[in-house]
Structure 1
């Protein structure tokens, strides 16, 4: 998931409108939930054309809050989409956004070939998620504390949760003790645009199944601990998810072959890759796009002792190349 992470002290609203200048309005008459991602935001129905995310986001005003995603089986008789061109934003406003080079920590070790995207792509996401820096204390003691790193094992012993996963979720008794339901722990060698410095925002990429199309925009905050290098994890602040989208096929294909191969190996080896692999299997066996419910049911069955060795790494990379599965 390409997700903007913004520190909780920053209250700027998310600008839901990012399109290419050449984008043409789509005919929304008769649109169904299966044609794209549909979500609710304060009485606004946001329709995101599946093939164009994140380059085409349109907003359609509706008079009332209509209910859950399952209620959106058809959408008709709605107003013309309002297209907001981020490229035409006022230069003064753009100047307030964080610059890509300010997001990097000089102590972070990043592989020569990692999940690198063109700076223009990173700038695009910065605009989309309205990412800005947050002021942090400048005195010597505060600076020393903000530079202090710990081992991941120490974090797990102190707070609970996994010592390896990106999303570390402590047990219920630990949550009762410290109040944090989730810690996000990106290793910078894998997530080179994740938050790396206190006060700076960042971008995290993930790859749940394409049918898991809900936006990660929430009111709750979570601690983010960045893995600058093995054995050195830095607390960079409490953050909120501030956006949603996924890499286009062109952006995915622009990545070095070794990076795509590494990413696919994570999908094949990690527990969080099971739903995506299950999505690929179901697409093959059903000969149509699986629903979120089907993927979840099959994934839950696998967790109870099922098998999933018939999905190959070649199938995974082909699914990404064709846009059947995506990196969020």
Structure 2
């Protein structure tokens, strides 16, 4: 597994957190579901990590705290229910760009992790808390592949618009923008073009240089499991089984339905850290998927892939 940062940076943060004891039987808590099913049942769409659900759907089922993470991008998101994880960002606080308008501190989310294409596993209720902001020296200690990957993604994707906006403002005015100034600048850009295309003059090389001197910073959030909704997992495990049967009978494949690209809207700047699921063959039945550990060679908690 390619770690997102130097192990000396991240392993102490993981070791500082405890596992949450999940008592639901393994066969039931290991059942995965698809985003199509979750969207059909609870709303929120199939693309974004932080989702906002229409109030009429919330009134139906009572849930409005979903967060979907992928192992391709969020490498240290939990893979085992109750296990801690780490989340990487470029901000020290959640705001309307990243979270639904209803979400306030202490930032507790109902976390799902995509273990493989089309297979999403409920991990538990996770409290997010800022635990470390890398200094310029710590950033420069990271591997070249890690730094280049982050800089390239910030330059290419909609969720990097705030970094590109700050750099653009800094280049023009010689100082950091206030929160209000940055918000106004981003709104102006979004009116003119797609979010991912905003500030296209801010290159990967420019972004790297800003991180290297400490003008931009990598932020680490700890993800600590503070609860596990057994009733919820039992419900979706049972309902997904029936939904999958009906879905297949109508020509779908349950886990890996290809999204309807004709319904996609242009990016809005809300955090979107992955692409939709792609159809993929998998012989496991009823959404069950194997989770593997890779030992760190110590008595500490293992990392998961």
- CA drift of 1:262 comes to 2.3
1:181 aligned onto 2:59:
no
1:318 equivalent in structure 2? 209
Cα distance per residue 1:169-228 (max 9 Å; x no partner) = 32333333333434222211222222221121211111238998xxx9934532100122
> Is contact 2:19–2:83 with CA below 8 Å preserved after alignment?
yes
1:150 equivalent in structure 2? 33
CA distance in 2, matches of 1:291, 1:263: 24
> Is contact 1:208–1:275 with CA below 8 Å preserved after alignment?
no
CA distance in 1, matches of 2:94, 2:65: 23
- Against the structure 1 CA distance between its residues 217 and 229, is the aligned structure 2 distance closer, same or farther, given a 3 Å change threshold? same
- CA drift of 1:286 comes to 0.8
> Is contact 1:267–1:277 with CA below 8 Å preserved after alignment?
yes
2:19 equivalent in structure 1? 133
> Is contact 1:209–1:325 with CA below 8 Å preserved after alignment?
no
> Is contact 1:207–1:276 with CA below 8 Å preserved after alignment?
yes
**Aligned match for 1:300, one of 168, 184, 187:** 187
- Against the structure 1 CA distance between its residues 173 and 258, is the aligned structure 2 distance closer, same or farther, given a 3 Å change threshold? farther
1:241 equivalent in structure 2? 128
- CA drift of 1:258 comes to 2.5
Query: TM-score scaled to structure 1, two decimals?
Result: 0.56
> Is contact 2:155–2:200 with CA below 8 Å preserved after alignment?
no
**Aligned match for 1:163, one of 40, 46, 51:** 46
- Against the structure 1 CA distance between its residues 285 and 211, is the aligned structure 2 distance closer, same or farther, given a 3 Å change threshold? farther
1:117 equivalent in structure 2? 6
> Is contact 1:278–1:308 with CA below 8 Å preserved after alignment?
yes
Gaps of 5+ in 1: 1-111
Equivalent pairs counted in the alignment come to 208
Query: TM-score scaled to structure 2, two decimals?
Result: 0.60
CA distance in 2, matches of 1:258, 1:250: 17
Q: Which has the higher contact order (CA 8 A, sep 6+)?
A: 2
CA distance in 2, matches of 1:310, 1:299: 15
Cα distance per residue 1:216-264 (max 9 Å; x no partner) = 9934532100122222211100111233432232332233323322222
1:285 aligned onto 2:186:
no
In structure 2, the residue corresponding to 1:294 is in which secondary structure?
Answer: helix
